[in-house]
Protein backbone atom coordinates (compact mmCIF):
# COMPACT_ATOMS: atom_id res chain seq x y z
CA UNK A 1 0.00 0.00 0.00
CA UNK A 2 1.16 3.51 -0.68
CA UNK A 3 1.03 4.60 2.91
CA UNK A 4 3.38 1.78 3.85
CA UNK A 5 5.94 3.34 1.59
CA UNK A 6 5.86 6.75 3.15
CA UNK A 7 4.59 6.11 6.65
CA UNK A 8 4.52 9.30 8.70
CA UNK A 9 7.38 9.82 11.12
CA UNK A 10 6.62 9.06 14.77
CA UNK A 11 6.21 12.14 16.96
CA UNK A 12 9.59 13.54 18.06
CA UNK A 13 8.76 13.03 21.74
CA UNK A 14 8.20 9.33 21.24
CA UNK A 15 11.46 9.07 19.38
CA UNK A 16 13.42 10.76 22.12
CA UNK A 17 12.01 8.43 24.73
CA UNK A 18 12.73 5.45 22.50
CA UNK A 19 16.39 6.28 21.98
CA UNK A 20 18.19 6.90 25.23
CA UNK A 21 21.82 7.82 25.04
CA UNK A 22 23.83 4.79 23.99
CA UNK A 23 27.54 4.20 24.15
CA UNK A 24 29.37 5.00 20.94
CA UNK A 25 26.45 7.18 19.88
CA UNK A 26 28.34 8.55 16.89
CA UNK A 27 28.84 5.16 15.25
CA UNK A 28 25.46 5.26 13.53
CA UNK A 29 24.40 8.86 14.25
CA UNK A 30 22.66 11.06 11.73
CA UNK A 31 24.27 14.46 12.04
CA UNK A 32 22.66 17.54 10.51
CA UNK A 33 24.98 20.24 9.23
CA UNK A 34 23.90 23.80 9.91
CA UNK A 35 25.71 26.38 7.81
CA UNK A 36 24.94 29.08 10.34
CA UNK A 37 25.02 32.03 7.93
CA UNK A 38 22.28 30.46 5.79
CA UNK A 39 20.07 28.54 8.20
CA UNK A 40 17.90 31.00 10.14
CA UNK A 41 18.23 34.72 10.79
CA UNK A 42 16.71 36.03 14.03
CA UNK A 43 17.46 39.76 13.69
CA UNK A 44 16.64 40.56 10.08
CA UNK A 45 20.15 41.51 8.91
CA UNK A 46 19.92 38.86 6.19
CA UNK A 47 22.59 36.66 7.80
CA UNK A 48 21.76 33.55 9.79
CA UNK A 49 22.78 33.54 13.46
CA UNK A 50 22.94 31.36 16.56
CA UNK A 51 19.65 32.53 17.99
CA UNK A 52 17.93 31.76 14.69
CA UNK A 53 19.53 28.32 14.68
CA UNK A 54 18.39 27.65 18.23
CA UNK A 55 14.80 28.58 17.39
CA UNK A 56 14.81 26.16 14.48
CA UNK A 57 16.25 23.17 16.34
CA UNK A 58 12.82 21.50 16.59
CA UNK A 59 13.07 21.01 12.81
CA UNK A 60 16.05 18.73 13.40
CA UNK A 61 14.17 16.81 16.06
CA UNK A 62 11.15 16.35 13.78
CA UNK A 63 13.51 15.21 11.05
CA UNK A 64 15.02 12.59 13.33
CA UNK A 65 18.61 13.84 13.52
CA UNK A 66 20.81 12.83 16.46
CA UNK A 67 23.16 15.76 16.42
CA UNK A 68 23.88 19.11 14.83
CA UNK A 69 27.19 20.31 13.41
CA UNK A 70 27.51 24.09 13.37
CA UNK A 71 29.93 25.71 10.90
CA UNK A 72 32.28 28.35 12.39
CA UNK A 73 30.58 31.20 14.23
CA UNK A 74 33.74 32.62 15.83
CA UNK A 75 35.06 36.17 15.57
CA UNK A 76 36.19 36.50 11.97
CA UNK A 77 36.57 39.07 9.20
CA UNK A 78 34.61 36.54 7.08
CA UNK A 79 37.11 36.36 4.27
CA UNK A 80 36.12 32.69 3.89
CA UNK A 81 32.68 32.40 5.48
CA UNK A 82 34.16 32.26 9.00
CA UNK A 83 36.91 29.72 8.23
CA UNK A 84 39.29 32.60 8.94
CA UNK A 85 39.15 32.94 12.71
CA UNK A 86 40.52 35.97 14.54
CA UNK A 87 39.43 34.89 18.05
CA UNK A 88 38.69 31.22 18.75
CA UNK A 89 36.97 31.94 22.05
CA UNK A 90 34.57 34.64 20.87
CA UNK A 91 31.38 34.60 18.81
CA UNK A 92 31.33 36.97 15.84
CA UNK A 93 28.77 39.75 16.47
CA UNK A 94 27.11 38.89 13.17
CA UNK A 95 26.18 35.49 14.67
CA UNK A 96 25.45 36.64 18.26
CA UNK A 97 27.49 36.30 21.41
CA UNK A 98 28.76 33.67 23.82
CA UNK A 99 25.46 33.63 25.70
CA UNK A 100 23.73 32.67 22.43
CA UNK A 101 26.20 29.82 21.93
CA UNK A 102 25.57 28.65 25.46
CA UNK A 103 21.78 28.86 24.99
CA UNK A 104 22.00 26.93 21.76
CA UNK A 105 24.01 24.11 23.31
CA UNK A 106 21.65 23.90 26.29
CA UNK A 107 18.51 23.94 24.16
CA UNK A 108 19.93 21.28 21.85
CA UNK A 109 20.70 19.06 24.81
CA UNK A 110 17.20 19.54 26.21
CA UNK A 111 15.88 18.41 22.84
CA UNK A 112 18.11 15.34 22.86
CA UNK A 113 20.49 16.66 20.19
CA UNK A 114 24.28 16.60 20.51
CA UNK A 115 26.26 19.58 19.30
CA UNK A 116 29.41 19.47 17.21
CA UNK A 117 31.27 22.69 16.49
CA UNK A 118 33.83 23.42 13.82
CA UNK A 119 37.43 24.04 14.79
CA UNK A 120 39.86 25.59 12.30
CA UNK A 121 43.42 24.65 13.30
CA UNK A 122 45.27 24.70 9.96
CA UNK A 123 45.24 28.47 9.69
CA UNK A 124 44.08 31.61 11.46
CA UNK A 125 42.72 34.82 10.04
CA UNK A 126 45.30 37.40 8.99
CA UNK A 127 43.56 39.57 11.62
CA UNK A 128 44.38 37.13 14.44
CA UNK A 129 46.62 38.85 17.04
CA UNK A 130 49.37 36.28 16.33
CA UNK A 131 49.51 37.14 12.65
CA UNK A 132 49.42 40.86 13.31
CA UNK A 133 52.38 40.38 15.63
CA UNK A 134 54.10 38.31 12.97
CA UNK A 135 53.67 41.09 10.44
CA UNK A 136 55.26 43.42 12.97
CA UNK A 137 58.19 41.00 13.07
CA UNK A 138 57.39 39.12 16.30
CA UNK A 139 56.54 35.45 16.83
CA UNK A 140 56.85 34.49 13.17
CA UNK A 141 57.73 30.95 14.22
CA UNK A 142 53.98 30.35 14.71
CA UNK A 143 53.46 30.58 10.93
CA UNK A 144 55.47 29.55 7.88
CA UNK A 145 57.56 32.56 6.88
CA UNK A 146 60.34 32.01 4.34
CA UNK A 147 62.61 34.12 2.15
CA UNK A 148 61.68 34.24 -1.51
CA UNK A 149 63.61 32.65 -4.35
CA UNK A 150 65.09 34.13 -7.52
CA UNK A 151 67.90 36.69 -7.62
CA UNK A 152 65.98 39.31 -5.64
CA UNK A 153 63.71 36.99 -3.66
CA UNK A 154 60.71 38.07 -5.68
CA UNK A 155 59.61 34.52 -6.43
CA UNK A 156 57.71 32.38 -3.90
CA UNK A 157 59.71 29.95 -1.72
CA UNK A 158 58.30 26.89 -3.53
CA UNK A 159 55.77 25.95 -6.21
CA UNK A 160 52.81 25.13 -3.97
CA UNK A 161 49.40 26.32 -5.13
CA UNK A 162 46.56 27.57 -2.97
CA UNK A 163 43.42 25.41 -2.92
CA UNK A 164 41.60 28.58 -3.93
CA UNK A 165 43.89 29.20 -6.90
CA UNK A 166 47.15 31.08 -7.44
CA UNK A 167 50.35 30.65 -5.44
CA UNK A 168 50.12 29.49 -1.82
CA UNK A 169 52.50 32.28 -0.79
CA UNK A 170 52.10 36.01 -0.27
CA UNK A 171 54.94 38.49 0.17
CA UNK A 172 54.96 40.93 3.07
CA UNK A 173 56.46 44.41 3.39
CA UNK A 174 59.94 43.28 4.46
CA UNK A 175 60.23 41.00 1.40
CA UNK A 176 59.65 37.62 3.06
CA UNK A 177 56.77 35.32 2.19
CA UNK A 178 54.15 33.46 4.26
CA UNK A 179 52.31 30.26 3.40
CA UNK A 180 48.54 30.08 2.97
CA UNK A 181 47.08 26.93 1.49
CA UNK A 182 43.76 28.75 1.19
CA UNK A 183 43.18 32.52 0.84
CA UNK A 184 45.95 35.04 1.69
CA UNK A 185 43.71 36.05 4.62
CA UNK A 186 44.22 32.51 6.03
CA UNK A 187 47.91 32.12 6.95
CA UNK A 188 48.88 28.52 7.77
CA UNK A 189 49.98 27.84 11.33
CA UNK A 190 53.24 26.06 12.08
CA UNK A 191 52.28 23.02 14.14
CA UNK A 192 55.89 22.31 15.05
CA UNK A 193 55.56 25.19 17.45
CA UNK A 194 54.68 24.16 21.01
CA UNK A 195 52.70 27.32 21.64
CA UNK A 196 50.42 26.57 18.68
CA UNK A 197 49.70 23.07 20.03
CA UNK A 198 49.08 24.36 23.55
CA UNK A 199 46.81 27.14 22.39
CA UNK A 200 44.57 24.76 20.46
CA UNK A 201 44.30 22.36 23.37
CA UNK A 202 43.20 25.31 25.47
CA UNK A 203 40.64 26.35 22.81
CA UNK A 204 39.24 22.81 22.69
CA UNK A 205 38.86 22.83 26.47
CA UNK A 206 37.09 26.17 26.31
CA UNK A 207 34.32 24.74 24.10
CA UNK A 208 34.23 21.35 25.83
CA UNK A 209 33.73 23.18 29.12
CA UNK A 210 30.85 25.06 27.52
CA UNK A 211 29.30 21.66 26.82
CA UNK A 212 29.85 20.86 23.17
CA UNK A 213 29.87 17.17 22.26
CA UNK A 214 32.65 17.31 19.73
CA UNK A 215 34.50 19.02 16.93
CA UNK A 216 34.50 18.85 13.19
CA UNK A 217 38.17 19.43 12.47
CA UNK A 218 38.69 21.63 9.45
CA UNK A 219 41.51 20.57 7.12
CA UNK A 220 42.51 17.84 9.59
CA UNK A 221 44.91 16.49 6.97
CA UNK A 222 46.80 19.74 6.50
CA UNK A 223 48.37 20.84 9.76
CA UNK A 224 51.75 19.20 9.14
CA UNK A 225 53.82 19.92 6.04
CA UNK A 226 56.63 17.77 4.60
CA UNK A 227 60.01 18.79 6.06
CA UNK A 228 61.80 21.31 3.89
CA UNK A 229 58.58 22.25 2.07
CA UNK A 230 59.69 20.49 -1.16
CA UNK A 231 58.50 21.55 -4.62
CA UNK A 232 55.80 19.43 -6.26
CA UNK A 233 57.04 19.95 -9.78
CA UNK A 234 53.81 20.46 -11.66
CA UNK A 235 50.72 22.66 -11.68
CA UNK A 236 47.02 21.98 -11.02
CA UNK A 237 47.94 20.41 -7.69
CA UNK A 238 44.47 20.86 -6.22
CA UNK A 239 43.03 18.36 -8.65
CA UNK A 240 45.25 15.68 -7.10
CA UNK A 241 44.11 16.16 -3.52
CA UNK A 242 41.77 13.17 -3.47
CA UNK A 243 44.09 10.80 -5.32
CA UNK A 244 47.71 11.55 -4.43
CA UNK A 245 49.68 12.47 -1.36
CA UNK A 246 51.01 16.03 -1.59
CA UNK A 247 53.73 17.52 0.65
CA UNK A 248 51.17 19.82 2.25
CA UNK A 249 48.36 17.31 2.85
CA UNK A 250 47.96 13.94 4.56
CA UNK A 251 51.45 13.87 6.05
CA UNK A 252 51.98 11.20 8.71
CA UNK A 253 52.80 13.87 11.29
CA UNK A 254 49.15 14.98 11.56
CA UNK A 255 48.29 11.77 13.36
CA UNK A 256 50.31 12.72 16.40
CA UNK A 257 48.15 15.83 16.77
CA UNK A 258 44.95 13.82 16.47
CA UNK A 259 46.18 11.37 19.09
CA UNK A 260 46.82 14.22 21.49
CA UNK A 261 43.36 15.61 20.80
CA UNK A 262 41.82 12.19 21.36
CA UNK A 263 43.46 12.00 24.78
CA UNK A 264 42.02 15.40 25.55
CA UNK A 265 38.52 14.42 24.36
CA UNK A 266 38.67 11.21 26.39
CA UNK A 267 39.53 13.17 29.50
CA UNK A 268 35.96 14.53 29.23
CA UNK A 269 34.44 11.02 29.21
CA UNK A 270 33.82 8.76 26.26
CA UNK A 271 31.09 10.69 24.47
CA UNK A 272 32.93 13.71 23.04
CA UNK A 273 34.02 13.17 19.48
CA UNK A 274 36.34 14.46 16.80
CA UNK A 275 35.42 14.21 13.12
CA UNK A 276 38.08 14.80 10.52
CA UNK A 277 37.55 16.77 7.38
CA UNK A 278 40.42 14.92 5.77
CA UNK A 279 41.11 14.57 2.08
CA UNK A 280 43.17 11.43 1.74
CA UNK A 281 44.23 9.66 -1.45
CA UNK A 282 42.65 6.30 -0.54
CA UNK A 283 40.19 4.68 1.85
CA UNK A 284 43.17 3.09 3.62
CA UNK A 285 44.87 6.43 4.20
CA UNK A 286 41.58 7.90 5.41
CA UNK A 287 41.09 5.03 7.86
CA UNK A 288 44.31 6.05 9.62
CA UNK A 289 42.45 9.08 10.99
CA UNK A 290 39.94 6.85 12.78
CA UNK A 291 42.28 4.37 14.43
CA UNK A 292 41.22 3.58 18.00
CA UNK A 293 43.48 6.24 19.53
CA UNK A 294 42.66 8.94 16.98
CA UNK A 295 39.43 10.57 15.84
CA UNK A 296 35.97 9.05 15.90
CA UNK A 297 34.88 9.87 12.38
CA UNK A 298 36.28 11.03 9.04
CA UNK A 299 34.06 12.17 6.19
CA UNK A 300 34.02 9.67 3.37
CA UNK A 301 34.50 11.96 0.39
CA UNK A 302 35.10 9.01 -1.95
CA UNK A 303 31.40 8.24 -1.62
CA UNK A 304 30.44 11.88 -2.16
CA UNK A 305 32.56 12.02 -5.31
CA UNK A 306 31.30 8.74 -6.74
CA UNK A 307 29.23 9.01 -9.95
CA UNK A 308 25.72 7.54 -10.22
CA UNK A 309 26.96 4.16 -11.36
CA UNK A 310 26.22 0.81 -9.74
CA UNK A 311 29.68 -0.75 -10.10
CA UNK A 312 31.50 2.37 -8.94
CA UNK A 313 29.22 2.81 -5.93
CA UNK A 314 29.52 -0.80 -4.90
CA UNK A 315 33.32 -0.53 -5.10
CA UNK A 316 33.34 2.60 -2.94
CA UNK A 317 31.01 1.02 -0.39
CA UNK A 318 33.17 -2.11 -0.19
CA UNK A 319 36.46 -0.20 -0.03
CA UNK A 320 35.15 2.17 2.62
CA UNK A 321 33.71 -0.55 4.82
CA UNK A 322 36.81 -2.70 4.48
CA UNK A 323 39.14 0.16 5.37
CA UNK A 324 37.20 1.45 8.37
CA UNK A 325 36.45 -2.03 9.71
CA UNK A 326 40.16 -2.87 9.57
CA UNK A 327 40.75 -0.23 12.26
CA UNK A 328 37.58 -0.96 14.22
CA UNK A 329 35.81 2.25 13.20
CA UNK A 330 32.59 2.93 11.32
CA UNK A 331 32.20 4.76 8.06
CA UNK A 332 30.85 8.30 7.85
CA UNK A 333 28.77 8.85 4.74
CA UNK A 334 28.04 12.25 3.28
CA UNK A 335 26.50 13.44 0.02
CA UNK A 336 26.41 17.22 0.35
CA UNK A 337 28.03 19.98 2.37
CA UNK A 338 28.81 23.69 2.14
CA UNK A 339 31.78 23.13 -0.20
CA UNK A 340 30.31 21.02 -2.99
CA UNK A 341 27.54 21.22 -5.57
CA UNK A 342 24.34 19.91 -3.93
CA UNK A 343 23.82 16.28 -4.81
CA UNK A 344 20.40 16.95 -6.33
CA UNK A 345 22.20 18.90 -9.06
CA UNK A 346 25.38 16.84 -9.12
CA UNK A 347 23.46 13.76 -10.19
CA UNK A 348 21.93 15.46 -13.21
CA UNK A 349 19.65 18.31 -14.09
CA UNK A 350 15.95 18.50 -13.24
CA UNK A 351 13.78 15.55 -12.34
CA UNK A 352 16.48 12.90 -12.88
CA UNK A 353 18.82 14.68 -10.46
CA UNK A 354 16.18 14.81 -7.75
CA UNK A 355 15.18 11.18 -8.30
CA UNK A 356 18.78 10.05 -7.96
CA UNK A 357 19.43 12.30 -5.00
CA UNK A 358 16.49 10.79 -3.11
CA UNK A 359 17.65 7.29 -4.00
CA UNK A 360 21.25 8.06 -3.02
CA UNK A 361 20.03 9.31 0.34
CA UNK A 362 18.08 6.13 1.07
CA UNK A 363 21.09 4.09 0.01
CA UNK A 364 23.33 6.10 2.33
CA UNK A 365 20.92 5.69 5.22
CA UNK A 366 20.75 1.92 4.71
CA UNK A 367 24.52 1.48 4.97
CA UNK A 368 26.31 0.73 8.23
CA UNK A 369 27.77 3.79 9.91
CA UNK A 370 27.00 7.43 10.49
CA UNK A 371 25.51 9.86 7.96
CA UNK A 372 25.73 13.62 7.61
CA UNK A 373 22.83 15.59 6.15
CA UNK A 374 23.47 19.12 4.87
CA UNK A 375 20.78 21.70 5.56
CA UNK A 376 18.32 21.95 2.68
CA UNK A 377 19.04 18.53 1.18
CA UNK A 378 16.00 17.27 3.08
CA UNK A 379 14.02 19.75 0.97
CA UNK A 380 15.58 18.46 -2.24
CA UNK A 381 17.05 21.91 -2.86
CA UNK A 382 19.03 22.17 -6.07
CA UNK A 383 22.28 24.09 -6.42
CA UNK A 384 21.67 27.72 -7.36
CA UNK A 385 23.70 28.01 -10.54
CA UNK A 386 22.79 31.49 -11.71
CA UNK A 387 23.87 33.77 -8.86
CA UNK A 388 25.03 37.10 -10.26
CA UNK A 389 28.77 37.69 -9.90
CA UNK A 390 28.29 40.73 -7.68
CA UNK A 391 26.64 38.76 -4.86
CA UNK A 392 29.17 35.94 -4.77
CA UNK A 393 31.38 35.76 -1.72
CA UNK A 394 33.39 32.58 -2.16
CA UNK A 395 37.05 33.67 -2.06
CA UNK A 396 37.84 31.04 -4.69
CA UNK A 397 35.54 32.90 -7.08
CA UNK A 398 37.43 36.13 -6.51
CA UNK A 399 40.76 34.41 -7.15
CA UNK A 400 39.40 32.96 -10.36
CA UNK A 401 41.62 29.85 -10.51
CA UNK A 402 41.94 26.55 -8.75
CA UNK A 403 38.58 25.51 -7.29
CA UNK A 404 35.63 26.32 -9.48
CA UNK A 405 34.78 29.03 -6.97
CA UNK A 406 31.10 28.33 -7.07
CA UNK A 407 30.52 27.35 -3.46
CA UNK A 408 27.96 30.12 -2.97
CA UNK A 409 25.44 28.07 -4.96
CA UNK A 410 25.02 25.54 -2.15
CA UNK A 411 24.97 28.23 0.55
CA UNK A 412 21.80 30.09 -0.41
CA UNK A 413 19.61 30.57 2.72
CA UNK A 414 17.01 27.85 3.02
CA UNK A 415 13.23 28.42 2.74
CA UNK A 416 11.07 27.72 5.75
CA UNK A 417 7.73 29.19 4.69
CA UNK A 418 5.98 29.87 1.43
CA UNK A 419 5.48 33.56 2.15
CA UNK A 420 7.42 36.41 3.65
CA UNK A 421 10.66 38.11 2.83
CA UNK A 422 13.30 35.40 2.43
CA UNK A 423 10.67 32.64 2.83
CA UNK A 424 10.91 32.49 6.59
CA UNK A 425 14.71 32.55 6.70
CA UNK A 426 14.34 35.71 8.75
CA UNK A 427 12.37 38.93 9.13
CA UNK A 428 14.61 40.68 6.57
CA UNK A 429 16.19 39.66 3.31
CA UNK A 430 18.82 37.05 2.68
CA UNK A 431 22.53 37.56 2.00
CA UNK A 432 22.25 35.56 -1.22
CA UNK A 433 19.10 35.82 -3.34
CA UNK A 434 16.75 32.82 -3.12
CA UNK A 435 15.11 31.54 -6.30
CA UNK A 436 11.34 32.30 -6.25
CA UNK A 437 10.60 28.60 -6.94
CA UNK A 438 11.93 27.84 -3.48
CA UNK A 439 8.66 28.98 -1.97
CA UNK A 440 7.23 25.64 -3.12
CA UNK A 441 10.16 23.78 -1.60
CA UNK A 442 9.88 25.33 1.87
CA UNK A 443 9.54 23.25 5.01
CA UNK A 444 5.99 24.56 5.31
CA UNK A 445 5.07 23.63 1.73
CA UNK A 446 6.45 20.09 2.02
CA UNK A 447 5.23 19.20 5.49
CA UNK A 448 2.43 16.67 5.30
CA UNK A 449 2.88 15.95 1.59
CA UNK A 450 3.79 12.26 1.39
CA UNK A 451 5.42 12.75 -2.02
CA UNK A 452 7.75 15.44 -0.72
CA UNK A 453 11.45 15.00 -0.14
CA UNK A 454 11.07 16.34 3.39
CA UNK A 455 8.58 13.61 4.31
CA UNK A 456 10.83 11.02 2.66
CA UNK A 457 13.71 12.08 4.92
CA UNK A 458 11.44 12.11 7.98
CA UNK A 459 10.14 8.62 7.22
CA UNK A 460 13.61 7.31 6.47
CA UNK A 461 15.10 8.65 9.68
CA UNK A 462 12.15 7.41 11.73
CA UNK A 463 12.57 3.93 10.26
CA UNK A 464 16.31 4.11 10.83
CA UNK A 465 15.70 4.73 14.52
CA UNK A 466 13.15 1.95 14.76
CA UNK A 467 14.87 -0.73 12.65
CA UNK A 468 17.88 -2.40 14.30
CA UNK A 469 19.47 -3.35 10.96
CA UNK A 470 19.75 0.22 9.69
CA UNK A 471 22.93 2.09 10.52
CA UNK A 472 24.24 -0.64 12.82
CA UNK A 473 26.95 -3.18 12.08
CA UNK A 474 29.88 -2.90 9.77
CA UNK A 475 29.11 -4.89 6.64
CA UNK A 476 26.55 -5.48 3.92
CA UNK A 477 25.59 -8.78 2.32
CA UNK A 478 25.38 -8.24 -1.44
CA UNK A 479 22.61 -10.10 -3.24
CA UNK A 480 22.50 -11.06 -6.92
CA UNK A 481 21.04 -8.27 -9.02
CA UNK A 482 20.77 -7.38 -12.72
CA UNK A 483 23.27 -4.93 -14.26
CA UNK A 484 22.78 -1.40 -12.98
CA UNK A 485 21.00 -2.57 -9.83
CA UNK A 486 22.43 -2.93 -6.34
CA UNK A 487 20.81 -5.16 -3.76
CA UNK A 488 22.05 -5.94 -0.30
CA UNK A 489 20.78 -7.32 2.97
CA UNK A 490 21.40 -5.85 6.40
CA UNK A 491 20.84 -7.90 9.56
CA UNK A 492 20.97 -7.01 13.24
CA UNK A 493 19.31 -8.25 16.39
CA UNK A 494 17.30 -10.85 14.52
CA UNK A 495 15.83 -8.28 12.11
CA UNK A 496 16.68 -8.08 8.43
CA UNK A 497 16.19 -5.48 5.76
CA UNK A 498 16.93 -5.51 2.06
CA UNK A 499 17.87 -2.41 0.12
CA UNK A 500 17.55 -2.32 -3.67
CA UNK A 501 18.82 0.53 -5.83
CA UNK A 502 17.97 0.80 -9.48
CA UNK A 503 20.62 3.09 -10.97
CA UNK A 504 19.34 2.71 -14.52
CA UNK A 505 17.07 5.22 -16.29
CA UNK A 506 14.43 2.53 -16.90
CA UNK A 507 12.28 0.28 -14.71
CA UNK A 508 13.77 -3.08 -13.74
CA UNK A 509 11.82 -6.19 -12.84
CA UNK A 510 13.00 -8.30 -9.91
CA UNK A 511 11.66 -11.14 -7.81
CA UNK A 512 10.02 -9.37 -4.85
CA UNK A 513 12.66 -9.09 -2.12
CA UNK A 514 10.06 -8.73 0.65
CA UNK A 515 7.47 -6.28 1.85
CA UNK A 516 8.21 -2.68 0.78
CA UNK A 517 8.88 -0.36 3.70
CA UNK A 518 9.95 2.83 1.99
CA UNK A 519 10.64 3.94 -1.55
CA UNK A 520 12.54 6.97 -2.78
CA UNK A 521 10.27 7.25 -5.79
CA UNK A 522 7.36 9.50 -4.91
CA UNK A 523 4.15 7.47 -4.64
CA UNK A 524 2.41 9.12 -7.57
CA UNK A 525 5.41 8.72 -9.83
CA UNK A 526 7.00 5.60 -8.45
CA UNK A 527 7.20 4.22 -11.95
CA UNK A 528 7.21 7.43 -13.94
CA UNK A 529 9.75 6.07 -16.43
CA UNK A 530 7.73 2.94 -16.86
CA UNK A 531 4.59 5.01 -17.20
CA UNK A 532 6.24 7.01 -19.97
CA UNK A 533 7.05 3.75 -21.71
CA UNK A 534 3.41 2.81 -21.33
CA UNK A 535 2.34 5.96 -23.12
CA UNK A 536 2.17 8.28 -20.12
CA UNK A 537 -0.34 6.28 -18.14
CA UNK A 538 0.78 6.34 -14.54
CA UNK A 539 -0.24 3.09 -12.91
CA UNK A 540 -1.70 3.15 -9.42
CA UNK A 541 1.25 3.38 -7.06
CA UNK A 542 0.31 0.41 -4.91
CA UNK A 543 0.45 -1.80 -7.97
CA UNK A 544 3.91 -0.71 -8.99
CA UNK A 545 5.81 -2.58 -6.37
CA UNK A 546 3.61 -5.64 -6.60
CA UNK A 547 2.15 -5.52 -10.06
CA UNK A 548 2.51 -9.22 -10.70
CA UNK A 549 1.16 -10.21 -7.37
CA UNK A 550 -2.37 -11.43 -7.92
CA UNK A 551 -2.60 -13.32 -4.67
CA UNK A 552 0.52 -12.47 -2.71
CA UNK A 553 1.92 -15.88 -3.56
CA UNK A 554 5.62 -16.67 -3.67
CA UNK A 555 7.31 -16.02 -6.99
CA UNK A 556 5.81 -12.58 -7.48
CA UNK A 557 7.91 -9.93 -9.13
CA UNK A 558 8.13 -6.20 -8.70
CA UNK A 559 9.12 -3.31 -10.89
CA UNK A 560 11.77 -1.02 -9.52
CA UNK A 561 11.24 2.54 -10.69
CA UNK A 562 14.12 4.18 -12.59
CA UNK A 563 16.75 5.81 -10.36
CA UNK A 564 15.10 4.62 -7.19
CA UNK A 565 15.91 2.96 -3.91
CA UNK A 566 13.52 0.77 -1.92
CA UNK A 567 13.84 -0.64 1.58
CA UNK A 568 12.15 -4.01 2.04
CA UNK A 569 11.31 -5.93 5.17
CA UNK A 570 12.55 -9.45 4.63
C1 LIG B 1 37.38 23.45 4.65
C2 LIG B 1 36.03 24.11 4.75
C3 LIG B 1 35.94 25.16 3.68
C4 LIG B 1 37.03 26.18 3.90
C5 LIG B 1 38.39 25.52 3.98
C6 LIG B 1 39.42 26.44 4.53
O7 LIG B 1 37.55 22.74 3.49
O8 LIG B 1 35.02 23.16 4.67
O9 LIG B 1 34.69 25.77 3.65
O10 LIG B 1 37.02 27.11 2.87
O11 LIG B 1 38.38 24.39 4.82
O12 LIG B 1 39.22 26.63 5.90
- Residue 534, domain CATH: 2.60.40.1180
pLDDT tops 90 at residue 80: yes
Q: Which residues contact 375 (CB under 8 A, 6 or more apart)?
A: 32, 33, 34, 35, 38, 39, 414
Q: How far is the CA of 506 from the centre of ligand 1 (A)?
A: 38
pLDDT, one tens digit per residue, over 93-128 is 999 999 999 999 999 999 999 999 999 999 999 999
pLDDT of residue 554: 52
Number of domains in the chain: 3
Query: Are residues 414 and 350 located together in one domain of the fold?
Result: yes
Q: Give the residue, by CA position, lying nearest to ligand 1 atom 4.
A: 83
285 and 342 part of one domain: yes
Q: Residue 164 belongs to what domain range?
A: 129-179
Q: Which residues are catalytic?
A: 218, 277
Closest atom, ligand 1, to C-alpha of 120: 12
| Shared domain check, 380 and 289 | yes
**Does ligand 1 lie within 6 Å of residue 219's CB atom?**
yes
pLDDT at position 524: 40
* Contact status, residue 501 vs residue 556, Cβ threshold 8 Å: no
Over range 436-465, report the average pLDDT: 97
* Residue 193, pLDDT score: 98
Point out the least confidently predicted range of 138-142, 511-515, 550-554. Answer: 550-554
Q: How many other C-beta atoms lie within 10 A of the C-beta of residue 154?
A: 11
383 & 526 share domain: no
Does the C-beta of 308 come closer than 6 Å to ligand 1?
A: no
Q: Which atom of ligand 1 is nearest to the CA of 182?
A: 6
Residues 385 and 529 in one domain: no
Residue 552 has pLDDT above 50, yes or no: no
494 lies in some domain: yes
> What's the gap in Å between 339 CA and the centre of ligand 1?
7
Give yes or no: residues 70 and 175 share one domain: no
Encode pLDDT of 108-117 as tens digits.
Answer: 999 999 999 9
| CA-closest candidate to residue 175, choices 200, 156, 153 | 153
Ligand 1 and 223: CB distance under 6 A: no
Q: What is the mean pLDDT of residues 455-470?
A: 96
Q: Tell me which of 437, 463, 489 is where a domain ends.
A: 463
- 372-421: per-residue pLDDT in tens? 999 999 999 999 999 998 999 998 887 765 445 579 999 999 999 999 99
What residues contact 532, with CB distance under 8 A and at least 6 apart? none
Encode pLDDT of 229-264 as tens digits: 999 999 989 888 888 889 999 999 999 999 999 999
Q: In the chain, what percentage of residues exceed pLDDT 90? A: 83
Question: How does the average pLDDT of the chain come out, rounded?
Answer: 90
Which of 377-391, 413-427, 511-525, 535-549 has the lowest average pLDDT?
A: 535-549
At residue 1 the predicted structure's pLDDT band, cuts being 50, 70 and 90, is very low
Can you give the CATH number for the domain in which 158 is found? 3.90.400.10
Whole-angstrom Cα distance, residue 560 to residue 180?
Answer: 50
For position 447, what pLDDT does the model report?
A: 98
Q: Is residue 354 part of a domain?
A: yes
317 in Cβ contact with 310 (< 8 Å):
no
Residue 43 in contact with ligand 1 by CB distance below 6 A: no
Atom of ligand 1 nearest to the CA of 337: 8
Amino acid sequence: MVHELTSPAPAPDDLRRASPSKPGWWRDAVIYQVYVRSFADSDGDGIGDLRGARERLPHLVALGADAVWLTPFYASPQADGGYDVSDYRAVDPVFGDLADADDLVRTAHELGLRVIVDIVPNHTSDQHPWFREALAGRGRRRYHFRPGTGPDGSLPPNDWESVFGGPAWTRVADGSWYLHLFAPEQPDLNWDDEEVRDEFESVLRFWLDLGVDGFRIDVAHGMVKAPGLPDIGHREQVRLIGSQQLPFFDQDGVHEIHRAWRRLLDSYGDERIGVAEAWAPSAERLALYVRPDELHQAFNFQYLNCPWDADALRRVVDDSLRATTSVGATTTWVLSNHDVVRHTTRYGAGAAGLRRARAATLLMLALPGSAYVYQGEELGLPEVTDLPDEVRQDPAFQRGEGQDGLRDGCRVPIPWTSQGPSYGFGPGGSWLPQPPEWRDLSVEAQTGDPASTLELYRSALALRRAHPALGAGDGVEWLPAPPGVLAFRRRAEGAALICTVNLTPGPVRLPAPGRPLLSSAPPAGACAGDAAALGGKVPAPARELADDDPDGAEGRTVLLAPDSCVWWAS
